[in-house]
A and B are shown apart, each in its own frame.
Chain A
């Protein structure tokens, strides 16, 4: 049995598909926070592993772009490595781990600590794009709710949190309102990252492959986390600095170091942490947490 070996287009997707995705992106940019249905393709990685983000990246990637891929804030987690290697292979683009050098950053679950700049594009991988999904499972219903701007259910949910716990018990994928109109799921980033979305100079694109939706936040768009006047939105704070680089005001990972309750808190954004350490910043655990 013999067969012609398949040949792939630049950035894997054929040009028709890219055009279809670009049309969806343009519509998404024109209606900030609105979920645009698109004919998501099967990708050579599984659904739920970033197929939406990969399709968006593939559609906007040009030969001169510099790509950075992070997962959990890190360039070196297995799925980030896999996606970066995919684009290095099918698009032969320059890749980087440095946030400032990248023109396109594909991310899962974090926004980099270094503020993004004009001309950069942040591409989010989104598992469930519908912020109302767990309040109303039916797509036919949630689309109507968005159309009528009927977000009472969401506020009731947040209110019930306060009534029950004294505070809003949502810590990630914390819903936002975009430009005063659409309630939007920011993807499962910690709410710590929510304020970075507001008035951001970079273009933010969201791709949900399995759910066939693309949405966007154009540069300098108002993004507010939902809250109440007497219970204003607040981000997570950490009581100690990064154990490796001493940074404060950043999101930290808790790393179990032994079976006696030992913990190391270190920057989730590994590029940020490394740059700080290269610049001479040292945390209290920098030498016990030996790096390979």
Chain B
């Protein structure tokens, strides 16, 4: 056999057949249905929608199934499909103040209008593997399945804002929001672009970065002003109608992190904001995003940028897991042309560096540089 990758075409076809076989697994067992995945692995589906940047639970469930549960692979499938879709409009900003709240907690106020609502959370569960999970036992019905209407629930940041204790939330300048899927990323990036990149960034990467800010690498003294999860309406302006039209509803998780700020020459001491918003129920991601968003705003508050989480180029260039996984994994593609060049160089250097071979200990492969088998090195 003269080149190991000869017959690539047949090898690829066979590999794909084997992959399909492994994906389906034991044929005597029923295949997973999309309803099962979307219904019972909902948080995996949420992550695929969030980082895939496409709100479509059915398609995300299909991608999870096709990818054998490899979520980054599923995200990749969604992205490669999303990129072929036309972009026909930018929606109006969603109003999370009017959310149908399923969960809403604040770490800064004991009680507040609309109340605290735990909702479907893992918090305060004891992480013991439940024997019931081995089977499909009966599950008790919840006290309430639908979001209760507990009256108006103003956002904590709005409550603080009414007292002038927190910075403003920015003005609508009428500009269409930036879109990194339609124009190349350029630095310095605007905040809307950064938030878009963070919203579709890798959960693990942002979690690590957010964590690093808590450990002193770009500390921001954060408090969870509020986390809220629920459905919001998406409206677009259609010129034909002259008024905004609701085109659908999406479930989102919003995290408003409230951070310390001692004030500057032009600004009085006030709290500052870190913002996180993601599709689905992804609290960890929304929290990490809000920490990183705040850290990235260092320049706005004359904070010295010394840590990775404050470094826009570092964060934005490495937060996309589809890019990251592609480039890391491309190392398994053949590189033997370049490796050959390095091999030659190494042999040349060793010849120059090691004129005396007698006293030299044998190399790790047991051969000395004078070994005839390596004498064929490049001239």
Contact = CB atoms under 8 A, between A and B. Distances in A.
* B partners with A: yes
Contacts of B345: 169, 171
B86 A49 contact: no
B342 A263 contact: no
Contacts of A260: 373
Interface stretch (B114-122, B182-190, B217-225): B182-190
Contacts of A140: 187-188, 313
Contact of B34 (A1, A78, A138, A262): A1
B2 A255 contact: yes
Contacts of A1: 34-35, 58, 61
Contact of B326 (A46, A79, A171): A46
B378 interface: yes
A111 to B, nearest CB: 11
A76 interface: yes
Contacts, number: 178
Interface stretch (A35-43, A116-124, A148-156, A196-204): A35-43
A47 to B, nearest CB: 3
B379 A239 contact: yes
Interface stretch (A26-34, A59-67, A186-194, A221-229): A186-194
Contacts of B338: 109, 171-173, 188, 190
Nearest to B314: A137
A106 interface: no
B76 A46 contact: yes
A160 interface: no
Contact of A238 (B7, B187, B378): B378
B337 A251 contact: yes
- The A contact surface, by secondary structure, is loop
A289 B2 contact: yes
Interface of A: 1, 3, 6, 8, 12, 14, 37-44, 46-49, 51, 71-74, 76-82, 85, 108-110, 127, 137-140, 165-167, 169, 171-173, 188-192, 210, 212, 236-240, 244, 251-255, 260-264, 266, 268, 270, 289-292
7 tightest A-B CB contacts, nearest first: A47-B326, A261-B373, A48-B330, A46-B326, A171-B341, A48-B327, A37-B184
Interface of B: 1-3, 5-9, 11-12, 34-35, 58-59, 61, 76, 79-84, 86, 181-188, 313, 317, 322-323, 325-330, 333-338, 340-345, 348-349, 352, 367, 371-374, 376, 378-379
